[in-house]
Amino acid sequence: MSGMLQFTLTHHLCTIIKNCRAPLARRLVPFGAVAAADVLNLGITRRDEFLEGIKVFDSHGDEVGQSRLAGARGVSACIAGRIAAAAPILVIPPLVMHRYIL
């Protein structure tokens, strides 16, 4: 599902930016598609953690309660980590190509 979602987003972003004259923007389309797919994928798969929260434990391992804020922060951190992991592969080569190959 994730691969098809990334393909679909890339295709739609390409059609939107088709008339754009900025070559750098065209080269960064795959990064935008992957980032959007990561947000949608994690948002859907972890929606219960985001909406209902996660269990919070103290230092002794005893359950203290349920926190929606901790769930939202955890999902947000996971999304940011996925985007940060994709950035070096999908951003640096287009920047180098734009600078030296253009």
Query: 20-35, pLDDT tens digit by residue?
Result: 667 777 788 889 888 9
Burial class, 50, CB count within 10 angstroms (exposed 0-12 / middle 13-18 / buried 19+): middle
Does the model's pTM come out above 0.75? no
pLDDT tens digits, residue range 52-96? 999 999 999 999 999 999 999 999 999 999 999 999 999 999 888
> What contacts 81, CB < 8 A, 6 or more positions away?
none
* The pair of three-digit structure tokens given for residue 73, joined into one six-digit string: 């922060």
Domain residue spans in the chain? 2-100
Cα distances from 16 to residues 25, 63, 85, in angstroms, run: 11, 49, 25
H-only helix segments in the chain: 2-17, 23-27, 29-45, 47-52, 68-100
Q: How far apart are alpha carbons 86 and 90 in whole angstroms?
A: 6
The average pLDDT across 13-19 equals 67
pLDDT, residue 52, reads: 93
8 A C-beta contact, residue 78 and residue 8 = no
